[in-house]
Structure 1
Amino acid sequence: MRRESQPRGARGPSGRYRSASGCVRARRGCESEMFGRDRQIGRRLRASAMAAFQLLFPLLVSCAAASASPARSLPPCQIVQMDVFCSDLSLRGAPVNLPRDVQILDLSRNQVQNLTQETLGYQTGFHHLNLHSNKIHFIQPGLFKDMTDLKILNLSRNHLNVFTLSKNNIGPLTAVESLDLSSNGLYTGMSDYFLADSPSLTNLSLNSNSITKIAQNTFSGSSSLKKISLHNNVILEIEDGAFDSLHHLTELDLSKNSITCITDFNLYNLKVLNLSKNSMELFQSASSSQLYNLLYLDLSENKMLYFPFLPRVNVLEYLDVSRNHLQSVNVSGSPEKRTNALLKQLKYLDMSYNQLKSIPESFFCFMGKLEVLNVSNNCIGSFALANKGFLPNLKIINLSYNSLQSLTFGENTLPSLEKLFLQGNDLTTLDHQVFQKLPSVLYLQLQQNNLKICASEQKQYEPALTDQNHHDPPGCVSFSSVRNLHFLYLSENNLQTLPANAFANTPLKLLDLSLNPGLDMDKDSLSGLEHSLVHLLLRENNISRLNTDLSLLKSLKRVDLSTNQLTSLPMWNKESSIESLNLQHNNLVTLEYSTMLALEHSLKTLYMGSNPLNCCSNLGFLHMVQRSAVVVPDIETVTCVHDDFSEPVNIEKLTEGMCHGSGTRAYVIVIVLALLAAMIVTVLLVKCCYSRKRKRDRSFSA
Structure 2
Amino acid sequence: MVSGVSEGGARTRRAEDVKTTWSGVRHAAKTRRRLGVSNMAAFPLLLPLLVGCVAAAVQPARHRPSCRIVDTSVVCRDLSLTSTPADLPSGVQALDLSHNQLQNLSGDTLAGHMGLRHLDLHSNKIHFIQPGLFEAMRDLKVLDLSGNRLNVFAMGKIQIGTLAAVQSLDLSNNGLYTGMSDFFLADSPSLVQLSLSGNSITKIAKNTFSGASSLRRISLRNNVILEIEDGAFDCLDGLSDLDLSRNSIACITDFNLNRLRALNLSRNSLELFQSTRSAELYHLAFLDLSENKLPNFPLLPTNNVIRHLDLSRNRVRSVDAAETKMPEMVLKHLRNLDLSYNLLTGLPQSFFRTMTSLEVLNVSNNCVALFSITDKDLLPAAKTVNLSYNSLRRLSLGEGALQALEELFVQGNDLRTLAHQTFQRLPSLNLLQLQENNLRVCPSETKNDQNPLSCVSFFSVPKLKFLYLSQNNIKSLPCRAFANTPLSLLDLSLNPGMEMHRDSLAGLEHSLVQLLLRENNISHLNADMSSLRSLKLVDLSTNHLSSLPAWNQELSIETLNLQNNSLVTLERAAMAALERSLKTLYVGDNPLSCCGNLELVRLLQHSAVVVPDIEAATCVLHQGSEPVNIEKVTPEMCRGRKKANHIIVIVAVVLLAAIASGLLVKFCKSRKEKRVRRFSA
Taking structure 1 as the reference length, the TM-score comes to 0.87
The reply to whether residue 354 of structure 1 matches residue 333 of structure 2 is no
The whole-number CA distance in structure 2 between the counterparts of 1:422 and 1:320 is 20
Which one of 146, 161, 164 corresponds to residue 171 of structure 1?
161
Q: Secondary structure at the match of 1:310?
A: coil
- Structure 1 residue aligned with 2:16: none
Equivalent residues in 2 for 1:504-543, closer than 5 Å = 504-543=483-522
Q: Tell me how far 1:684 sits from its aligned partner.
A: 2.5
Q: Does 1:467 align with 2:449?
A: yes
1:410 aligns with 2:398: yes
Change (3 A) 1:74 1:688: closer
Tell me the distance in 1 between the aligned counterparts of 2:577 and 2:434.
34
C-alpha contact 1:170 1:193 (8 A) present in aligned 2 = yes
Counterpart in 2 of 1:558? 537
Aligned-pair CA distance for 1:572: 0.6
1:112 aligns with 2:74: no
Structure 2 partner of 1:582: 561
Q: Secondary structure in 1 aligned to 2:437?
A: coil
Q: In structure 1, what is the equivalent of residue 40 of structure 2?
A: none
Matches of 2:209 and 2:24, distance apart in 1:
59
Distance, in Å, in 2 between the alignment partners of 1:667 and 1:176 is 91
Q: Distance in 2 between matches of 1:127 and 1:165?
A: 28
Question: Could you list the per-position Cα deviations for residues 329-380 of structure 1 after superposition, in whole angstroms to 9, with x for gaps in the alignment?
Answer: 146x8545352x3111110101110001111111111111110000111110
For 1:503-652, what aligned pairs fall within 5 Å after superposition? 503-643=482-622, 646-652=625-631
* Structure 1 segment 435-450 matched on structure 2, within 5 A: 435-450=423-438
Q: Secondary structure at the match of 2:190?
A: coil
Indicate conservation of the 8 Å contact 2:320/2:348, yes or no: no
Task: Quote the residue 2:135 is aligned against.
Answer: 145
Cross-structure match for 2:214: 224
Give yes or no for the alignment of 1:671 onto 2:671: no
**Mapped partners of 1:525, 1:53: distance in 2:** 98
The structural deviation recorded for 1:544 is: 0.7
**How far does residue 601 in structure 1 lie from its aligned partner after superposition?**
1.6
Question: Could you tell me which residue of structure 2 aligns to residue 422 of structure 1?
Answer: 410
Residue number in structure 1 paired with 2:383? 395
> What code does the residue aligned with 1:159 have?
R
Question: Which residue in 1 is equivalent to 2:32?
Answer: none
Match of 2:369 in 1: 381
Does the 8 Å CA contact 2:320/2:351 hold for their aligned counterparts?
no
Aligned to 2:355: 367
- 8 Å Cα contact 2:206/2:233 also seen in 1: yes
AA in 2 matched with 1:350: D
Structure-1 separation of matches of 2:353 and 2:546: 57
In structure 2, give the amino acid aligned to 1:189: G
- Opposite residue 543 of structure 1, the aligned amino acid is I
Report the alpha carbon displacement of residue 642 of structure 1 after superposing the two structures with TM.
Answer: 2.0
Work out which of the two has the higher radius of gyration on C-alpha atoms and give 1 or 2: 1
**Structure 2: distance between partners of 1:51 and 1:330:** 92
Work out the CA distance in 1 between the residues paired with 2:678 and 2:331: 126
Which piece of structure 1 moves more, 681-690 or 170-179?
Answer: 681-690
Say which SS state the counterpart of residue 690 (structure 1) adopts: helix
Amino acid at match of 1:248: G
Q: Give the whole-Å Cα distance in 2 for the aligned partners of 1:77 and 1:405.
A: 66
- Greater shift, 204-213 or 75-84, is seen at 75-84
Q: What SS does structure 2 have at the residue aligned with 1:552?
A: coil
| Distance (Å, rounded) in 1 between the aligned partners of 2:363 and 2:679 | 112
User: Counterpart in 1 of 2:47?
Assistant: none
Does residue 1:188 correspond to 2:178, yes or no?
yes
Aligned equivalents of 1:651, 1:553: Cα separation in 2: 30
Q: 1:127 aligns with which of 117, 123, 126?
A: 117
Once residues 380 and 680 of structure 2 are traced to their aligned partners in structure 1, the CA distance between those partners, rounded to angstroms, is: 122
Q: Distance in 2 between matches of 1:367 and 1:502?
A: 36
Unaligned regions of 5+ residues in structure 2, if any? 1-19, 28-52, 58-62
1:239 aligns with 2:229: yes
Structure 1 equivalent of residue 73 of structure 2: 83
Partner Cα distance (2:229, 2:389) in 1: 41
| Contact residue 357 and residue 380 of structure 2 kept, 8 A | yes
- Partner residue in 1 for 2:198: 208
| DSSP 3-state at the match of 1:437 | coil
Q: Give the 3 Å change call, closer, same or farther, for CA 259–53 of structure 1 in structure 2.
A: farther
Q: Distance between the aligned counterparts of 2:566 and 2:623, measured in 1?
A: 21
Task: Call closer, same or farther: CA 1:335–1:301 in 2, change over 3 Å.
Answer: closer
Structure 1 residue aligned with 2:244: 254
Whether the 8 Å contact between 1:576 and 1:601 is mirrored in structure 2 is no
Are the counterparts in 2 of residues 330 and 338 from structure 1 also a CA contact under 8 Å? no
Q: Give the C-alpha shift of residue 119 in structure 1.
A: 1.0
Q: TM-score, normalised by structure 2?
A: 0.89
Query: What amino acid is the match of 1:575?
Result: E
- Out of 305, 312, 330, the position equivalent to 2:302 is 312
Contact 2:65/2:79, CA 8 A, preserved across alignment: no
- Partner secondary structure for residue 163 of structure 1: helix
C-alpha spacing 1:241/1:52, structure 2 compared with 1 (3 Å): farther
Match of 1:337 among 317, 326, 350: 326
For residues 510 and 620 of structure 1, what CA distance do their matches in structure 2 show?
A: 30
- SS of residue paired to 1:662: helix
1:264-303 → structure 2 map (5 Å cutoff): 264-303=254-293
Q: Does the aligned pair in 1 maintain the 2:593–2:622 contact within 8 Å?
A: no
- Aligned partners of 2:639, 2:400: CA distance in 1, in Å? 69
Structure 1 contact 322–351 (Cα < 8 Å) conserved: yes
Deviation readout 1:301-334 (Å, 9 max, x if unpaired): 0000000000000111110111000011146x85
The one-letter code matched in structure 2 to 1:300 is S
Whether 2:483 is the aligned partner of 1:476: answer: no
Displacement of 1:628 in angstroms is: 2.5
In the TM superposition, residue 401 of structure 1 has moved relative to its aligned partner by: 0.4
Separation in 1, partners of 2:623, 2:232: 84
Q: Percent identity?
A: 62
- Is 1:329–1:338's contact at 8 Å kept on the other side of the alignment? no
Give per-residue Cα distances to partners, 1:247-295, cap 9 Å, x unaligned: 0100000000000000000011100000000000000001111110101
Residue of structure 1 equivalent to 2:468: 489
Provide closer, same or farther for how the CA distance between residues 53 and 312 of structure 1 changes in structure 2, counting only shifts above 3 A: farther
Contact 2:299 2:326 in 1 (8 A): no
Contact 2:584/2:610 (<8 A) preserved: yes
Higher mean displacement: 178-187 or 692-701: 692-701
Asked whether the equivalents of residues 74 and 97 of structure 1 are also in contact (C-alpha less than 8 Å), the reply is no
Using the TM superposition, give the Cα deviation of residue 644 of structure 1 relative to its aligned residue in structure 2, in angstroms.
Answer: 6.9
- Over 3 Å counting, the alpha-carbon distance change for 1:689 and 1:80 in structure 2 is same
Which has the higher mean CA deviation after the structures are superposed, 152-161 or 409-418? 409-418
Secondary structure class of the residue paired with 2:95: strand
2:14 maps to none
Which of the residues 627, 635, 659 maps onto 2:638? 659
Match of 2:46 in 1: none
Query: What SS is found at the alignment partner of 2:367?
Result: coil
1:537-558 alpha-carbon deviations (Å, 9 max, x no partner): 0000001110111111111110
- Indicate if the aligned counterparts of 1:644 and 1:662 stay in contact, CA closer than 8 A: no
Rounded Cα–Cα distance in structure 2 between residues aligned with 1:692 and 1:383: 96
Q: SS of the residue aligned with 1:249?
A: coil
How far the C-alpha of 1:674 sits from its partner, in A, is 1.1
